């Protein structure tokens, strides 16, 4: 069965790589859009994001993408994948830009890594966290199918998520602190890393997303 995907576009960043990766792993139609009707018609929804959270939240609300995302999650019950700032936007609040209220769909906050940031041996770590890092799978989930525990994914971020409900934690990453790398709840899977930039492991995760029925 051909699966259609809507990648929600609120004007923050080039989403071509996400769309291309989805097509590469077998998606049927992939539309990059904020058009309400196109998003409602899609079998799967991707909520990506890059850039400063204040600007992202402003555009998300201006274009009513928050309402479209809520409809996909709670009314249409289609599988939703949030990526990077898309994950952060789901939380209650971010420390970035002197504090920004986010969507509040997942209780929790977005925290600065800190400066200076050091690892367990006292070695200085660069912020932003940029590059490949191992993700520890904290629970079984259909999107982890075929991906070994401690597989490396590609990250680019200066702020990290901490969800209040620790039962939602699907994956974690160590970078001076233990950060939430993946959260899962019902038909939502949200990741801090970029699957579209994470080589074969990322493509496997995206393929799993296309095959996922939204249950876990």
**What's the token pair of residue 181?**
């790398």
Catalytic annotation present for 196:
yes
Q: Where do we find the tokens 């950060």?
A: 179
Question: Per residue of the chain (216 residues), what is the pLDDT tens digit?
Answer: 689 999 999 988 778 899 999 999 999 999 999 999 999 999 999 999 888 999 999 999 999 999 999 999 999 999 999 999 999 999 999 999 999 999 999 999 999 998 889 988 989 999 999 999 999 999 999 999 999 999 999 999 999 999 999 999 999 999 999 999 999 999 999 999 999 999 999 999 999 999 999 998
Residue among 56, 65, 84, 102 flagged as catalytic: 84
Q: How far apart are CA 210 and CA 45, in angstroms?
A: 10
Tell me the domains of the chain and their CATH numbers.
Answer: 5-211 (3.40.50.880)
Reduced to 3 states (helix: H, G, I; strand: E, B; else coil), residue 168 is helix
84 is catalytic: yes
Beta carbons of 47 and 85 less than 8 angstroms apart: no
C-alpha 54/C-alpha 170 separation (Å) is 26
Confidence (pTM): 0.97
């Amino acid at each position: 069965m051909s699966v259609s995907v809507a990648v929600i576009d609120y004007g923050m960043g080039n989403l071509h790589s996400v769309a291309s990766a989805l097509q590469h792993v077998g998606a049927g139609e992939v539309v990059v859009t904020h058009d309400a009707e196109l998003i409602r018609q899609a079998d799967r929804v991707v909520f990506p994001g890059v850039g400063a959270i204040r600007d992202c939240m402003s555009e998300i609300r201006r274009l009513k993408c928050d309402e479209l995302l809520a409809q996909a999650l709670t009314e249409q019950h289609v599988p939703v994948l949030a990526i990077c700032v898309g994950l952060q936007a789901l939380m209650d609040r971010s420390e970035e830009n002197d504090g920004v209220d986010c969507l509040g769909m997942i209780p929790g906050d977005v925290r600065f890594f800190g400066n200076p940031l050091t690892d367990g041996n006292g070695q200085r770590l660069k912020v932003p966290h940029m590059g490949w890092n191992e993700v520890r799978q904290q629970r079984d989930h259909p999107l982890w199918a075929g991906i070994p525990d401690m597989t490396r994914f590609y990250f680019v971020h200066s702020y990290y998520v901490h969800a209040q409900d620790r039962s939602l934690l699907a994956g974690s990453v160590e970078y001076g602190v233990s950060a939430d790398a993946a959260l899962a709840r019902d038909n939502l899977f949200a990741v801090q890393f970029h699957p579209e930039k994470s080589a074969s492991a990322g493509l496997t995760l995206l393929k799993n997303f296309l095959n996922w029925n939204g249950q876990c």
